[in-house]
Amino acid sequence: MSFFKDNADKINIGMHGEELVRSFLKKNKYNFMQVDIIAEKGDKIYLIEVKCQEKFKDPDSHGLPEYQIKKRIRLAEKTGMIPVLWIYDLEDKAFYMQDMRVLMEGEKSFSKTGKRILFPIESFIRLEAHHD
């Protein structure tokens, strides 16, 4: 069993509460975003956006909508956090991660729809994913 399966009812209640708060914030004109993980290691705090996906092809790449990247970088600049895009690649069964500011300074392209900024796979640090 996994944590999520073992706690499905509590998770659903929590998600309902989050939806109520998002609705309130939107109605009251708050600027907000969903943050996947905030992690601390040593004296650094990381704002992590997590994606679980296959690579975009030609060239192999991963990406996010531009507005998501810009919002996270802006929040990181205000708070001193490090904005990280962390991907679990379904094909490679590996993690790819990188500071979003580094990604934005390097080579990039756009998806066919123009909605996502794509970063070449070589722009990421590859980490082996260990499954417990």
CA distance 56 to 98: 17
Rounded Cα distance, 45 and 81, in Å: 5
> What confidence tens digit (pLDDT) does each residue in 28-45 have?
999 888 889 999 999 999
Q: What's the pLDDT at 131?
A: 66
**Is there a contact between 104 and 69 (Cβ–Cβ < 8 Å)?**
yes
Helix (H, G, I), strand (E, B) or coil at 50: strand
> Per-residue pLDDT tens for 70-114?
999 999 999 999 999 999 999 889 999 999 999 999 999 988 888
Could you tell me the pTM of the whole model?
0.83
